[in-house]
Structure formats: C-alpha cells, structure tokens
Amino acid sequence: MVSKPDITVKFCKLDLENPFLLSSAPPTCTGEMIMHAFEEGWAGAVTKTIKPDKTPVYDLDNRFGIMGLEDKQMILFENIEEVSKRSVGTWVKEIKEVKKKFPGKILIGSLMAEPKDEDWETLARTISEAGVDMLELNLGCPHGMPERGMGAFCGQRPELIDRLTKAAKRGSSVPVMVKLTPNVTDIALMAQTAEKAGADAISAINTVLGLIGINIDTFEPMPTVDGKSTFGGMSGPGVKPIGQRCVAQIAQATNIPVSGIGGVATWRDAVEYLLVGANNVQVCTAVMWRGYRIVADMIDGLTNYLSDKGFSSVKDIAGKTLPKLTAWGKLNKDYEVVATIDKDLCIKCGLCYVACRDGGYQAIKFEQGKAAEVDEEKCDACALCTLVCPVPNCTTWKRVKK
C-alpha cells in the first residue's frame, strides 16, 4: 500500500485542497451558505453571480423542474432562475467574512453585467479587491439574462467574449476565469477567444438550453409560472456527456486550465472530467439534490481510487484520456470483433434478440427457455445486445480477422 495519494490541485497558482468546488448557483447564495459548505469539506466555491446594483433581477415562482425516472431518480434538472439579487455591498462584506474565517479555502467571485466595458471593469475591480482569490465571468447563463444582453448572449459572440474578458482583466487584481455556454456551435473557438483575450482559465459548461417537459393535462410547459414558461437551463446527470465533450474540446484547443462542470455528482464523475483534461470540477445540481455532505464521499472515493490504481496524486491522471480522443476518420477500420453470449450467464430474457432483430442485424438466435446465440456471420458488432443485456459480462467480444 502506497502512502495516501495527494488530491491537492494547483489551479492558476491557487492551491486547492481537493479538486471539488461549488459552482455559481443556489448553494452559494450567501456567505453563510458558502461557509457551511467549507465546513463540510469543499475546497472552494464560486459565488452566485454578482451583478451591478443598477441591474434589476427577479425571482420567479416556480423556477425549477426535473426529468426523472421512477422513484425520483433525477436525470435532468432545469432552472429559470436569474443571478444573485443581492447588492454588491452585501457581497463585498460577506466575501471579506468568508475569507477571514476560511483563508485556506478558494473563493471565486462570479460576475455578470451588461456588455459595457466600464461596468465589467468596475465590478471586477470591486469584487477582486474585496478579497476573492479569482473571478469567474458568467458568459453562459442561457435564460432570462440573455434577453437583456447578458449571460449566454455574450458567450455566443466571440467579439463580446474578447472585449469583456479584456475589460475584466483590466479591473481585476486576481486571475480571471471565463465560464462558457455549451449553446454554441464551436465551444473551442469561444475558449480560444477568451484565452487570447487574457483569460487565466476556462470553466465549462454552463447549463444547456432546453424545455424540461409539458404537462399534458394542462398543456402548460414546465416549470410553470402562472401558466406559462420559458426555455431554461438543463443540468444534472443528463448533461454530463455534453460537459465532458466540451471540456475535452477546450482542453485540446487551449493551454489554460479548465474547471469542469456539468453533471458531476460523484467522485467517479469527477475522475472522468479529470481524465479529459479538467483541472478541477464544479458541482451544483447534486448538492441541491442531496446537500453539501456529498463531498465527503467525493474526497474519500477519489483518494481510494487513486490509491487502488497506484497513483500518487491527481496530477497522474490529468488529461490521461485526451490522447485517446481522436477524429472519427482516424479510428481503426480494420479492427473487427463479434459478440459472444455466455450460455451460463444468459437469463433467457430475449432482450438482445428483439433488439438485434428490430434495431440491428438479425444476428441473434433465440428460443424460449434456451440461451441466446450469436450468428457470427451476421453480427456487425454494433454493441446493442451488450447494452440492453441486464446481466453484467454476459456479452463479451471476440476479435476476428477481417
């Protein structure tokens, strides 16, 4: 047994005691909440987005919705909430309090303003001088704010990313991270634009624009505000593949660290993000669902994982998967396998049979009461049978010569 792995992370010269941060969201609404989270073990927190006092912000009743499986297993979470309603003065006071009580924790101030250089510069100056360790520019919020030229409105326009990053950098006395929206055609381009404009780090993704559901009895979209709704931001487990794709693209396209966001709920999710190039991860939805306490298992689980795998620190797995991500055209077309079904493990449910018959290559033979069998001549190795099979390791792959 090697000594306990080191899970600290260096992020833009900042020392994180672990790679787990709270993202800018309801769990970081107040200094008091952030301090509570720090007590539970979070390495840092990004404040709920602070905006100039002149910008009005409203809360709607209700503003959340979910898409879930049985027994409230949440797959996607939607919100149509705006940024923090609280004044800059209040935030300055609370930032000082938090930093005084938790000098070793990383506090990041999230900012948003109308696309006016002077507003961003002033806000960046005020909040950085209040004592935060870093700023995060919210150029990603996809609901409410973009209608007024903020949030994703800015993050979808390279010229605004460029201009506002520069403005914030002018005002800030601390590193500046730009938070990007996935609701763009090419997020790598947006990240490169921020990098060129002087950003010290990128965080991605903000929520994915969507429509969580419709009440088919009342015809009202959800979340319903007095009978109507608007498109909102999706988060939670369902957006993780999108977040991972974006983080990998950004990591491949830039040379600045990325803070990975999107569907991180457990240490396993975090490991995946770290493997595709994230320096650390930010969490919101999972905390809203189960509380700050989930960080204890994230820390412990990550530590055990590294130790089980024989790694001495988080750095050892950083970006380890990136070289394995390539273009479709570069994938090995000469690699051929066929499915094999384990006769003893097969529970004779016939799910692989019907899936292959109706969604594949009619390559599985099945008779009730007998194990399913693969016709190797017909099998095209698409993997559908493996995916529908309820039994672990029942379907395996056998290499064949072309």
Partner 1 sequence: MSGRIHTKTVSPQDRIKGFDPYVSNLDERMALYEAARCLMCYDAPCMSGCPTRINIPEFIYRIKTGNYYGSAKVIRGSNIFGGECGYVCPVERLCESKCVRNNLNEEPVAISMLQRFAYEKEKPKGLVKFGRAPPKKRKVAIVGAGPAGLSAAYELARMGYGVTVCDSNPRPGGLMLYGILPWKAAWSVAESEIDNIKRCGVKVVAKKKIADVKSLLKDYDAVFIGTGTTESLGLGIPGEDLTGVYLAQDFLFGVARSLKREGKAPDLKGKRVAVIGGGDTAVDAACASLRLGAERVYLVYRRSLTEMPAVPYGRNQAKEEGVEFLLLTAPVRIKGAKKVEGLECVKMELTAPDASGRRGVKPIKGSEFLLDVDAVIVAIGQKPDEGVLKSFGVKLEKGLIVVNENGATSAKGVYAGGDTVNGGETVVEAVAEGKKAAAAIDKYLSGGR
Q: Give the residues lining the site for partner 1 (CB under 8 A).
A: 69-71, 347-351, 353-354, 366, 368-369, 390-391
Question: For residues 73 and 326, which CB has a smaller minimum distance to partner 1 in the complex?
Answer: 73
- Of the two residues 38 and 366, which places its CB atom closer to partner 1 in the complex? 366
The CB-of-285 to partner 1 minimum distance in angstroms stands at: 22
Indicate the residue among 217 and 334 with the shorter CB distance to partner 1. Answer: 217
217, with CB counted inside 10 A (0-12, 13-18, 19+), is exposed
CB 346 → partner 1: shortest distance, Å? 9
Q: Which of 53, 117, 42, 43 is nearest to 83 (CA)?
A: 53
Closest approach, Cβ 355 to partner 1, in A, equals 9
∠ Cα 25 27 28 (to 5°): 70
Report yes or no: 231 and 211 within 8 Å, Cβ to Cβ. yes
Task: Give Rg (Cα) of the chain.
Answer: 24
Residue 174 phi, psi dihedral angles, 5° rounding: -130, 170
For the CB of residue 236, give the shortest distance to partner 1 in the complex, in Å: 19
- Fill in the amino acid letter for 358: D
Token code pair at residue 324: 């394995």
141 is known as an active-site residue: yes
Q: Which of 142, 148, 156, 95 is closest to 123 using CA atoms?
A: 95
Least Å from the CB of residue 390 to partner 1: 6
Q: Tell me how far, at minimum, the Cβ of 179 lies from partner 1, in Å.
A: 37
Residue 70 or 226: the one with the smaller Cβ distance to partner 1 is 70
Distance CA 190, CA 323 (A): 22
User: Per this entry, what is the length of the chain?
Assistant: 402
Minimal distance, residue 100 CB to partner 1, in Å? 46
The span from the first CA to the last CA of the chain, in angstroms, equals 44
DSSP string, 292-322: TTHHHHHHHHHHHHHHHHT-SBGGGGTTTTG
Bridge partners of 73, per DSSP, are 69
Q: Select 368 or 393, whichever has its Cβ closest to partner 1.
A: 368
Q: Whole-number minimum distance, CB 73 to partner 1, in Å?
A: 10
As a whole number of angstroms, the distance between CA 76 and CA 69 comes to 10
Closer residue to partner 1 (CB): 256 or 364: 364
The residue type of 274 is L
| Catalytic-labelled residue, pool 29, 141, 246, 352 | 141
Could you tell me which residues come within 8 angstroms of residue 149 by beta carbon, excluding any fewer than 6 positions away? 114, 115
Tokens of 195: 């990098």
Structural contact between residues 281 and 295, judged by C-beta atoms closer than 8 angstroms: no
Nearer to partner 1, 214 or 391 (CB): 391
For residue 310, how many other CB atoms are within 10 A of its CB? 9
Neighbouring residues of 332: CB distance < 8 A, sequence distance ≥ 6 = none
Q: Mind telling me the catalytic residues?
A: 141
